[in-house]
Chain A
């Protein structure tokens, strides 16, 4: 692994991971206070994937996201206030309250939106990749999806097409071992999703998705290949969600020992230790980041809480673009 990153870059990655974690903890708390309508799918535990991948992208690069998408948004640079406001169903949210937790998008930073149909983001990512190729830009698209989505037909269609057309797409499989409550081994005989890459003639890697530097490093290589016109890569990141599938799920189907083992492998704890051990950051510096992030989350919550709900009749807007 190449660790040639600057202190600024490394601490920024830590900050982003922490933003996601504290944001998700806050969303969980607000849900308990009945301030979040509907449901939530928390990203806590998987931060190293989103941050590792997005840290290897530029602002102009694209990502597509999933129902478990808060982390992707934040990692790509979305505004916490507007993200939180959207989750609370407020007028000031990214989607003016029309999307909610499962459909956040910010086109100004290349975040092409979260789709809540499992596997539906893959062909859209292929389209963004084709678009970049046809427009002759060097934009890369990173497509996030879970191991459950790799059983959808869209996975097959998309990886094949991206391979056939050598598109600049990075397929990032967040393998958190469970598709809702279904353990991977119940529905697949392979262990590693990345093995499927061979079927499309593309490069596939299975990596530690809880090590942000490993994720960053592998993504950077995939980005370089993509920008050079060498086509797509499938990166499978083994990771784990700390909470259940959604807010109502207490995840009793997961053995206690397994949960404990993965909690020991907490990506943020792991990275913090590494920053301290390598003397990249001091305790004081880490402490400062932690308090800054906590403040930022509080600001986001305040903004979201104080924001108005959309006017009911706004439900009728934005169905069609006006022609003109």
Chain B
């Protein structure tokens, strides 16, 4: 099968959806013809679709998201880019109080079919304001859906689903994933929300991992295989809706679970997944739930510091070894 990067897969998804549906348009800082997005995801799109549909905005995150909300309420399908996940804090009212709630508080009269794409995650030495993993913030706001693709295939299929859907979607793109190459078919497909993907089958322990951590977990699983430990890797792909069924099913099969996410441990994504397992599969567990996550610090700058707080293969192996 054809192989393309995660970034190219996202761009293809946007391009195909913009060709298919004239109400789809993009807005964000530096996403247009001069820069093509800070991470170049939208490069070339302005040339095809014009400046009206690929709109460079001022540095006004609230207005970017609010504009998307207003446009979505009145018949358009905006895809907004917030240049770094950390900067969503600037648009938080529009995301959490407006986009997320307008359907509910207006009694279901209206939908807000907008997508907010944002690069997030640590690992490139850009310190505390450009590196956090904040998915849990958005999981905590009813009305939003949250996608966390880990592969080029999933990125394209999930983004297409996000653009076509009727709900506001917070779409998290780990910046280390952009250059990763994966198999993506030429033909049309979508990946539905709320359907986890077993990225590797195994028998001894379930590791639920998200986004870039899926790849670290797959590396760890290879190492563990040498020790005779068979790891099943479950990638939820979307955090809202969360495919609890598939996670629980895998845990019931293996009897052991480790949750690996890059966000802070306290009240993080891993806490929610661990709680789901505790509520729905506790009797099937042969060992306590283990979590591998960021140790509740801001992301530091210096490489030695940053690497110390980002979960790595060693930490994952250690956690798995502790439960098997």
Binding site for B on A (CB under 8 A): 62, 64, 93-99, 103, 105-107, 112-113, 115, 117, 120, 122-132, 134-135, 141, 153-154, 157-158, 160-161, 164-165, 317-323
Contacts and interface: CB of A to CB of B under 8 A. Distances in A.
A161 B102 contact: no
Contact of B69 (A123, A164, A318): A123
Contacts of A122: 66
A98 B105 contact: yes
A320 B107 contact: no
Interface of B: 23, 25, 52-53, 55, 57-58, 60, 62-63, 65-76, 78, 93-94, 97-98, 102-111, 113, 142-143, 145, 165-167, 193
Contact of A107 (B55, B65, B72, B109): B109
Nearest to A135: B75
B107 A95 contact: yes
Given A120-B93, A157-B63, A320-B143, A112 B107 contact: no
Given A124-B98, A319-B143, A158 B74 contact: no
B70 A129 contact: yes
Nearest to B59: A157
25 contacts: A97-B107, A98-B107, A105-B110, A107-B110, A112-B70, A113-B106, A113-B110, A115-B97, A117-B97, A117-B98, A120-B66, A123-B62, A124-B70, A124-B94, A126-B67, A130-B67, A134-B23, A134-B52, A135-B75, A157-B58, A157-B62, A161-B58, A319-B142, A320-B167, A321-B111
B71 A130 contact: yes
Query: Quick one: which of B25, B98, B145 has the most chain A CB within 10 A?
Result: B98
A199 B97 CA distance: 28
Chain A interface, DSSP helix/strand/loop, else mixed: mixed
B109 A120 contact: no
Given A130-B71, A321-B166, A99 B52 contact: no
Contacts, number: 153
Nearest to A86: B107
B32 to A, nearest CB: 13
Nearest to B25: A134
Contacts of A321: 103, 108, 111, 113, 165-167
Contacts of B69: 123-124, 127
Contact of A130 (B70, B93, B110): B70
B51 to A, nearest CB: 11
Contacts of A319: 103-104, 142-143
A96 B78 CA distance: 28
B167 A95 contact: no
B109 A161 contact: no
Contacts of B107: 93-99, 105, 318
Contacts of A320: 103, 143, 145, 167
Nearest to A159: B63
Nearest to B94: A123
Given A128-B70, A318-B103, A321-B166, A160 B109 contact: no
B67 A161 contact: yes
A129 to B, nearest CB: 7
Given A128-B73, A132-B74, A318-B103, A154 B66 contact: yes
A103 B108 CA distance: 12
A123 B167 contact: no
Nearest to B161: A323
Contact of B105 (A103, A129, A153): A103
Nearest to A102: B105
A99 B104 CA distance: 8
B67 A120 contact: no
Given A95-B105, A319-B103, A319-B104, A127 B58 contact: no
A153 B62 contact: yes
A158 B57 CA distance: 11
Nearest to B72: A127
Contacts of A322: 166
A154 B75 CA distance: 23
Contact of A161 (B57, B78, B98): B57
A247 to B, nearest CB: 20
Q: Enumerate the 7 nearest inter-chain pairs by beta-carbon distance, A residue then B residue, closest first.
A: A127-B70, A123-B66, A95-B107, A321-B166, A157-B63, A318-B108, A157-B60
Contact of A127 (B68, B103, B104): B68
Contact of A103 (B68, B106, B167): B106
B92 to A, nearest CB: 11
Contact of B66 (A98, A126, A323): A126
A321 B107 CA distance: 11
Given A127-B66, A127-B67, A127-B70, 14 more contacts: A96-B107, A96-B108, A103-B105, A107-B106, A120-B97, A127-B72, A127-B78, A129-B70, A157-B58, A157-B60, A157-B66, A165-B55, A321-B108, A321-B166
A125 B70 contact: yes
A61 to B, nearest CB: 11
Nearest to A320: B167
Nearest to B67: A127
Contacts of B113: 321
Contact of A164 (B58, B78, B193): B58
Nearest to A98: B107
B73 A112 contact: yes
B115 to A, nearest CB: 14
Given A120-B97, A123-B62, A123-B65, A134 B71 contact: yes
A162 to B, nearest CB: 9
B96 to A, nearest CB: 10
